[in-house]
Structure 1
């Protein structure tokens, strides 16, 4: 058992609180095939990042405006196509335990998409949420985490971040936070600690300590 002390908790959404893989892989896969791209590579690059940035990386010769147009089209579909979205084990209990602790959602999704996915998973959106609508750069930039920390009145170095993706872990570390990787794969991304899922996380009675079954 590992015990962390923190003044605030910052939570990623997809892959951390919500399992949206089925939807993401289906829609991103359709987009990738339409452009003659390798589906697995596109899905891997998309994890934790804003779609228009990934499109620009994969299709560098086309106008950025086209990336924004196609990303908006994808987001519109993702917001309504929520079949198969479920909560990560332990997510609901953790959010309940954090009710009296400063915490925020930090996601590369838009606010509309975050609300749709959290609702589909049976989870409430935290009162403080930093989304793609609030930042100029997506993860691995630390902008989202640093903004959330400021909104909570806490330095990034006194936050614990829960993340599952390579880009998200890098963003959390760049923000100066202690990063807990969710899922075995996050062990390869440089997370400070790793849990299998959120059932391995409990919040202490003093509301300032987080206990992990660190893997």
Structure 2
């Protein structure tokens, strides 16, 4: 596989599809939601990943009052938080997070989940929860708005251009690029949505600190003939 190399001062990490494989739960509950509201599951599946629930609902039911979406979102969050059947870590996630911790490399979680859901899913996957963490409670707009990633960079004291985002979804990749950051796409959904580079799993990522402690190097085994070096 071709190799790409990125340098950065900090990493901003999505959760679902990036650190945690929650597809089984998401698809189970959102399939039921689609049936309840007469929305074909294929349409739901095209937009559900990476967004807060109310934003997904607004996309699928554009005439529906937003207050109903927010109320329904609260119900869905409760259901998702209580259902962790099938939650597993993305391959390589344990090693990846351990490398960041061992090297004291700056990183933050930026997720569309709220604190309760993020805690439930990371715990079910046996993963530590990165801090700082930017969750649904931290932002006024869902991905693909860049607010969450910009807040994550600010929490770490970093300029956007010094950060690399790890994402899997169309909404998340768009948010990272809109924030002025480079984006590593993770998993089967990512490559189609224009990340800087894409890898199949976190097993294809190696993290090393730069000499002097001023950042890190990412060595990526990329999915296709992407650039050998991406700045």
TM-score bracket for this pair, using the shorter chain length: over 0.9
Structure 1 residue 12, shift from structure 2 partner: 0.6
- Normalised to the residue count of structure 2, the TM-score between the two structures is 0.90
1:174 aligns with 2:178: yes
Q: What is the aligned counterpart of 1:163 among 164, 167, 173?
A: 167
User: Equivalent residue of 2:44, what SS?
Assistant: helix
* In 2, Cα distance between equivalents of 1:184 and 1:34: 28
CA RMSD of aligned residues (A): 1.1
Q: What is the aligned counterpart of 1:187 among 188, 191, 194?
A: 191
* 4+ aligned runs moved over 4 Å, structure 1: none
* In 2, Cα distance between equivalents of 1:81 and 1:104: 25
Q: Is the 8 A contact 2:43 2:60 kept in 1?
A: no
1:144 aligns with 2:148: yes
Q: What is the aligned counterpart of 2:106 among 102, 106, 115?
A: 102
In structure 2, what is the equivalent of residue 50 of structure 1? 52
- Listed as ranges, the gaps of 5+ residues in structure 2 are 224-231
Structure 1 residue 43, shift from structure 2 partner: 2.3
Deviations 1:164-202 (A, max 9, x none): 101111111111111111124311101111111000001
Answer 1 or 2: higher relative contact order, Cα 8 Å, separation at least 6: 2
- Normalised to the residue count of structure 1, the TM-score between the two structures is 0.97
Aligned residues: 215
Q: Is the 8 A contact 2:167 2:183 kept in 1?
A: yes
In structure 1, what is the equivalent of residue 217 of structure 2? 209
* In 2, Cα distance between equivalents of 1:41 and 1:126: 32
Q: What is the aligned counterpart of 1:32 among 34, 55, 58?
A: 34
